[in-house]
Amino acid sequence: MIATTQYQAAPFQLGAGDLENVLALVRAGTLAGAGERLGVDPSTVFRTLQRIERGLGQALFTRSRTGYQALELAQTLAGHAEQLESALESARSAAQAQQQPERVSGTVHITTTDTILHGLVAPALRSLQGEHPLLQFELHAGNDLASLTRRDTDIAVRATRRPPAHLVGRQVGRIRMALYAARQGPVQQLADVQAGQDWVAPDDALPEHPSVLWRKRHFPKAGARYRVGSILTVMELVALGLGVGVLPVFLAQPHPGLVALTGSLDECETGLWLLTHPESRHLRRVATVYGHLARTLVLE
pLDDT band at 65 (very low <50, low <70, confident <90, very high): confident
Interval 36-54 mean pLDDT: 92
Q: Which of 237, 236, 260 is nearest to 249 (CA)?
A: 260
Q: What is the mean pLDDT of the chain?
A: 86
Residue type (1 letter), 149: T
Pick 98 or 186 by higher pLDDT.
186
- 108 — phi, psi (to 5°)? -110, 125
The share of the chain scoring above pLDDT 90, in percent, equals 44
Contact 262, 238 (CB under 8 A): no
Torsion sign over Cα 134, 139, 145, 150? negative
Is 107-174+271-296's fold the same as 177-268's? yes
Interval 115-130 mean pLDDT: 89
Q: What tens digit of pLDDT does each residue of 214-235 get?
A: 998 998 888 889 999 889 999 9
pLDDT on residue 87: 75
Q: What tens digit of pLDDT does each residue of 135-160 get?
A: 999 998 876 655 555 567 889 998 88
pLDDT on residue 104: 80
pLDDT on residue 285: 87
Q: What are the extents of the domains in the chain?
A: 9-100, 107-174+271-296, 177-268
Q: What's the 3-state SS for 144-161?
A: CCHHHHCCCCCEEEEEEC
Interval 233-258 mean pLDDT: 94
- 199 — phi, psi (to 5°)? -120, 150
Q: What tens digit of pLDDT does each residue of 154-206 get?
A: 899 988 888 877 778 889 989 999 999 999 988 888 888 887 789 999 988 88
Q: Name the pTM for this structure.
A: 0.68
Give the residues across from 275 on adjacent strands.
Answer: 156, 169
Interval 49-73 mean pLDDT: 92
pLDDT higher than threshold 60 for residue 3: no
Q: DSSP 3-state assignment of 170?
A: strand
pLDDT on residue 47: 94
Cα separation, 244 vs 187, whole angstroms: 8
Cα separation, 52 vs 38, whole angstroms: 16
pLDDT on residue 148: 56
Pairing of strands 135-141, 200-202: unpaired
CA distances 70 to 22, 31, 78, Å, are: 9, 13, 9
pLDDT on residue 27: 86
Q: What's the 3-state SS for 8-20?
A: CCCCCCCCHHHHH
Span between the terminal Cα atoms of the chain, in Å? 91
**Domain 177-268 falls in which CATH fold?**
D-Maltodextrin-Binding Protein; domain 2 (3.40.190)
Query: For the packed helices 16-28 and 72-99, what is the interaxial angle rounded to 10 degrees?
Result: 110
Pick 239 or 297 by higher pLDDT.
239
**Domain 9-100 falls in which CATH fold?**
Arc Repressor Mutant, subunit A (1.10.10)
pLDDT on residue 149: 54
Cβ-based neighbours of 157, under 8 Å, separated by 6 or more: 110, 111, 112, 116, 117, 120, 121, 272, 273, 274, 275, 293, 297
Cβ-based neighbours of 284, under 8 Å, separated by 6 or more: 93, 96, 97, 104, 106
pLDDT band at 1 (very low <50, low <70, confident <90, very high): very low
Interval 105-133 mean pLDDT: 89
**Domain 107-174+271-296 falls in which CATH fold?**
D-Maltodextrin-Binding Protein; domain 2 (3.40.190)
